[in-house]
Amino acid sequence: MSNWKDTDIVEVDQPELTAAERLYLPQIVGGMKTTVFRHLLRKRVRDEKVVQYPEQKVTVRKENYRGVHRLNRDEQGRVACVACFMCATACPANCIHIEGAESPWPDREKYPVRFEIDELRCIYCGMCEEACPVDAIELTPLYHLVGTSREEMIFDKERLLEIFDETKDEKPRKNPSITGY
């Protein structure tokens, strides 16, 4: 037997729509108000935040932005790296490959004959920079990393030294004479 009583039932009349409501006019006007007044009038504010890359570049914090790597030069223009492998050991992405050799200079034991970083494998964590005892490897404010093949994105010693030349004015080497060379 049902527990419902007649008073529990509420009958609702279907509202009569006006002609405008049948044509969705209130909804169309409401939508246009949102488009014109809210979005179009705010467009100027949005435009100020949009950067038209590559014609325009965003400004990054030069001191600590972790972009493309560079291999620093010492004061005599030689590669500052002493091929100690600390950066490659610290790298969690295993993207640094170094081949060391006996140094041709009397002020250090070794230097890198080959130094490569796979910029596509890198996660830009900065561990290599932290691990380097002579501040020879650093991350730079460069963020436009573009290439058409994987091979092209493996930066060798010469490319990494070129990046030092490109960025040294913008971001000077942190400790240029940390080990005296």
Establish if 86 lies at the interface with ligand SF4 (CB under 6 A).
yes
Establish if 160 lies at the interface with ligand SF4 (CB under 6 A).
no
For 37, phi and psi rounded to 5 degrees?
A: -80, -40
Establish if 163 lies at the interface with ligand SF4 (CB under 6 A).
no
**Which of 84, 160, 161, 163 is in the footprint of ligand SF4 by CB under 6 A?**
84
**Smallest distance from the beta carbon of 127 to ligand SF4, in angstroms?**
4
Establish if 128 lies at the interface with ligand SF4 (CB under 6 A).
yes
The amino acid sitting at 54 is P
Tokens for 103? 């140094």
Closer by beta carbon to ligand SF4, 33 or else 69: 69
Establish if 142 lies at the interface with ligand SF4 (CB under 6 A).
no
Establish if 153 lies at the interface with ligand SF4 (CB under 6 A).
no
Of the candidates 164, 99, 170, 106, the one whose C-alpha atom is nearest the C-alpha of residue 136 is 164
Piece in contact with ligand SF4 (CB under 6 A), picked from 15-23, 25-33, 38-46, 116-124: 116-124
**Smallest distance from the beta carbon of 57 to ligand SF4, in angstroms?**
22
88 and 117 in contact (C-beta within 8 Å)?
A: no
Residues of this chain that interact with ligand SF4 (CB under 6 A) are: 81-87, 90-93, 95-96, 98, 117, 122-128, 131-132, 134, 136-137
